[in-house]
Amino acid sequence: MSKIDELFQTLRSANRKALMPFITAGDPDLDFTTAVLKELVARGASMCEVGIPYSDPIADGPVIQASYTRALDNGVKLKSILETLAGVVPELSAPVVTMVSYAIIYRHGLEKYADELKSRGIAGMIVPDLPVEESPQLAKVCEARDLSLIQLVTPTTPQDRAKKITETSSGFLYYVSVAGITGERTELPPDLVDRVSWLREQTPLPVCIGFGISKPEHVKLLAPVADGLIVGSAIVRRMAAVDDKGHDATLQQIGDYVASLLTALD
């Protein structure tokens, strides 16, 4: 059983839902990445997603694109990100996964990338651009190491393809709430709840919703139908203000924001 399987088993037994913040590794630097992860978990985040900066955006909106660009401009590399995570992950009471392009995994080597995650205590990977036709090989690599391979289903994914995605996914399914890119939104699609309800009938895996979630009202709306909620752009935007507001004040603001979402989740 993977760390993420254990997490959702624990949450379900307590009738609780997961809040899963996303941050960009290395924006503005890896020391701040470490500090933010500690703050998020201290405030009650169930799991943290760490984005591996990539030069070709994959459904990333302007906020996350800009954060990836800043990190890459600062010279952040995969090796240094993994070394940083190795230093902080063992201290955290919540699992950590990487969100990473399949191009990076493929170039690095499937087994090598998985081994490096495993050796650093990282619980799995979200691979937004993994074609379902190529997913069985990576799924086997992850399964052999008790790593979760988290894949995405979108509003435009045909139902037969969505079912195939569930077959090679593990940990949880990431349901993309909107057709388009990441980013904060004032409203979510009216059929979102129905779409997620259908997906949950197709798989025993937990279904977690991301893209566009930024307000306590979103959390209250989606918590009854989801196993977890993913918040990214709203946190990354706050992280970008660190140069203006300072390290401690930015951490406090991020922590308070996450606390407000967790209050809505209860």
In the set 60, 91, 134, 256, the catalytic residue is: 60
Contact between 85 and 97 under an 8 Å Cβ cutoff? The reply is no
Report how far Cα 38 is from the mean position of its chain's Cα atoms.
16
Q: Is residue 26 classed as helix, strand or coil in its secondary structure?
A: coil
Q: Give catalytic status of residue 49 as yes or no.
A: yes
* Structural tokens at position 83: 């070394």
* d(C-alpha 220, C-alpha 48), whole Å: 20
Contact between 185 and 212 under an 8 Å Cβ cutoff? The reply is yes
* d(C-alpha 145, C-alpha 3), whole Å: 11
Amino acid identity for residue 105 in this structure:
I
In the set 5, 27, 31, 49, the catalytic residue is: 49
Residues annotated as catalytic are 49, 60
